[in-house]
């Protein structure tokens, strides 16, 4: 068989089965601790919630942590706690999942898109400054792919204009910025525990902060705006509660928290594995003319939720869509993160956004691919990705006259 012929053209694929871009790691101990909670009296609003909150707060070095049902709920609760409402503007980057901006709309605010840096695809502080108006109340700093934003520059801007900073750190649990842990760099920091993230609770989220007033607001918000939960009333021997504001059912169960506590213990080793895979990719792709990994700053510890590359399409006879399809046919589960939020039909229709608003993000979108990276990948898996990239890019390479 001709191993150089692309699988999409009838050749033999590099892998017989698809390697996903991300995957959870759940072991027997994870199953045991969840089963233990199933056999207990408290499946939700029980002791594991506070235990998980304390574990995450201690891990990042924050005073408070508030557990919620998913990463979107974390962003929504944070926007609520900051008091964002109708007439308020919040600056958001376009290179992110839609929830980063949607959470602003949930509270009646208006997301204002500021472009990203070309090398890192992180929020560009200069673009943030240019988008500030008298109605601006906050900045959402997305730690894209697991690399922290330039928090020193953003903090100077925020202080100058009296703005809050919400770190969307759903990609970046365990990352560090100039020695400081993500989770302590902003007024509020939101995390996600979706299965492809650094640790999982199935679905789940957390907000960390050093402000106990904001933490209490979010605890009310996750429980319908009610002043106590079932366990608190049980401990007091009371039935009475009051709803003091409009909240949501954004609670995280004890089952999920038990899983999260156990997963958190493995996180340091899993981060090391992600970083080791990224180093292997960096070394291999540095030799390929048609591919360029995103820039990584020397003063950060990158958590590598994603490993994103840009294709040098001027060197290829193919589009990004062609490369995507060819790599999937080779058994490599590449993905694209993300369609810029301002290009989604909802935003075009309701907020008048569209092409040209954030040209750096728009240009990057046409070129980016996310490659598989997760701790359970073997060295052979990593080599399969590299082999497939060489095979596909070699097949599509333009000949040099």
What is the number of other CB atoms lying within 10 angstroms of the CB of residue 174? 27
Run of H or E residues at 192: strand 188-192
Question: With DSSP H G I counted as helix, E B as strand and the rest as coil, what are the percentages for the chain, rounded to 5?
Answer: 40, 15, 40
60, 44, 56, 41: which is closest to 222 by C-alpha?
Answer: 44
What is the number of other CB atoms lying within 10 angstroms of the CB of residue 159? 10
State the catalytic residue, choosing from 48, 160, 197, 217: 197
Distance between first and last Cα of the chain: 30
- The strands making up 300-301's β-sheet, listed across from edge to edge, are 180-181, 176-177, 300-301
What is the distance between the alpha carbons of residues 93 and 201, in angstroms, rounded to a whole number?
Answer: 27
Angle formed by the axes of helices 99-106 and 71-81, to 10°?
Answer: 40
* Residue 206 in tokens: 């957390």
What is the number of other CB atoms lying within 10 angstroms of the CB of residue 233? 16
DSSP 252: P
Cis (ω within 30 of 0) for the bond into 353? no
CA angle 111, 301, 377 (to 5 degrees): 95
Helix (H, G, I), strand (E, B) or coil at 67: strand
Residue position matching structure tokens 């898996």: 381
Rg, the chain, Cα only: 22
**DSSP per-residue letters across 213-242:** HHHHHHHHHTBTTBS--HHHHHHHT-----
Is 197 among the residues known to form the active site?
yes
Residues classed as catalytic: 197
């Amino acid at each position: 068989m001709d191993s150089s012929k692309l699988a999409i053209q009838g050749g033999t694929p590099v892998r017989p089965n698809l390697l996903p871009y991300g995957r959870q790691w759940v072991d027997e101990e994870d199953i045991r601790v969840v089963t233990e909670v199933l056999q207990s009296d408290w499946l939700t609003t029980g002791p594991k919630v506070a235990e998980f909150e304390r574990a995450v707060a201690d891990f990042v070095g924050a005073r408070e942590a508030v557990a919620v049902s998913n990463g979107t709920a974390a962003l929504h609760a944070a926007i609520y706690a900051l008091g964002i409402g109708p007439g308020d503007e919040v600056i958001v980057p376009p290179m992110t999942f839609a929830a980063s901006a949607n959470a602003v709309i949930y509270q009646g605010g208006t997301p204002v898109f500021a472009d990203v840096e070309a090398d890192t695809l992180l929020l560009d502080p200069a673009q943030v400054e240019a988008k500030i108006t008298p109605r601006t109340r906050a900045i959402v700093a997305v730690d894209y792919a697991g690399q922290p934003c330039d928090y020193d520059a953003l903090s100077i801007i925020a202080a100058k204009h009296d703005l809050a900073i919400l770190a969307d750190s759903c990609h970046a649990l365990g990352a560090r910025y100039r020695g400081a842990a993500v989770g302590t760099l902003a007024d509020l920091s939101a995390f996600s525990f979706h299965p492809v993230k650094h640790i999982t609770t199935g679905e789940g989220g957390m907000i960390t902060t050093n402000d106990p007033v904001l933490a209490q607001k979010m605890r009310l918000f996750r429980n319908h705006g009610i002043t106590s939960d079932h366990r608190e009333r049980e401990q007091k021997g009371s039935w009475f509660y009051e709803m003091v504001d409009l909240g949501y059912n954004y609670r995280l169960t004890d089952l999920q928290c038990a899983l999260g506590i156990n997963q958190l213990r493995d996180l340091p080793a899993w981060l090391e594995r992600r970083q080791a895979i990224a180093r292997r990719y960096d070394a291999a792709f540095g030799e390929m003319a048609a591919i360029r990994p995103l820039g990584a700053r020397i003063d950060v510890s990158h958590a590598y939720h994603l490993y994103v590359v840009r294709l040098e399409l001027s060197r290829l006879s193919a589009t990004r869509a062609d490369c995507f399809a060819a790599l999937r046919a080779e058994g490599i589960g590449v993905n694209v993160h993300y369609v810029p939020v301002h290009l989604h039909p909802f935003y075009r229709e309701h907020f008048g956004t569209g092409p040209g608003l954030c040209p750096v993000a728009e240009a990057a979108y046409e070129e980016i691919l996310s490659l598989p990276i997760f701790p359970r990948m073997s060295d052979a898996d990593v080599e399969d990705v590299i082999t497939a990239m060489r095979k596909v890019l070699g097949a599509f390479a333009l000949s040099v006259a």
